[in-house]
Amino acid sequence: MRWPRALVVLFALVVLLGLAAPASGGELVKHSGSIVAIADDASTFVLAEVGPWQVREGATVLTYVTIALAPDTEYALVARADEPPSGFGGDFVETRLGPEDVYLHDYVTVDCLHEGGRMVALKITVTSAP
């Protein structure tokens, strides 16, 4: 059975694009925890994560990670809404924020791009207290 030339070329292109994509960027990982420090120039912050879950001398071990901010980092707030668009009372709704709306001790989830030993925040989502 002979394959049409266009199909062979298309298959080769898909394979090449698939191989090239991972090489162009780092790994995408989510980190969640409380913001415990913010650099004076607001270029980085330190997140205190619980995980992997460990207890040492009766206390939960926190992992501290430093995350860089980029000019295109997105910011959002996730909170329950009484009348969300979904129609389900109490559903979570995401609202856009600015960097000035994120504070020390906020509990956040950060979508990070791991580039070698450096972590860059793509999106910071603040979780509203119930």
pLDDT tens digits, 33-87: 999 999 999 999 999 998 778 899 999 999 999 999 999 999 999 998 887 888 8
Contact between residue 90 and residue 79 where contact means Cβ atoms under 8 Å apart: no
Q: Is residue 2 part of a domain?
A: no
31 or 84, which is more confident? 31
CATH, residue 67: 2.40.50.320
Residue 111, SS3?
A: strand
Domain that holds residue 78: 26-127
State how far the Cα of 37 lies from the Cα of 4, in Å rounded to an integer.
60
Q: Is residue 64 part of a domain?
A: yes
Q: Is residue 10 part of a domain?
A: no
The pLDDT tens digits for 80-112 are 888 788 887 778 889 999 999 999 999 999 999
Q: Is residue 117 part of a domain?
A: yes
Q: Is residue 16 part of a domain?
A: no
Q: Is residue 4 part of a domain?
A: no
What total of structural domains would you count in the chain? 1
Q: Return the H-helix or E-strand segment holding 27.
A: strand 27-38
* Planar angle of CA 121, 126, 130, nearest 5 degrees: 160
Q: pTM score > 0.85 for this model?
A: no
State how far the Cα of 32 lies from the Cα of 73, in Å rounded to an integer.
16
> What number of residues does the chain have?
130
Q: Is residue 9 part of a domain?
A: no
Measuring CA to CA, how many Å separate 68 from each of 19, 80, 81, 116?
28, 29, 31, 13
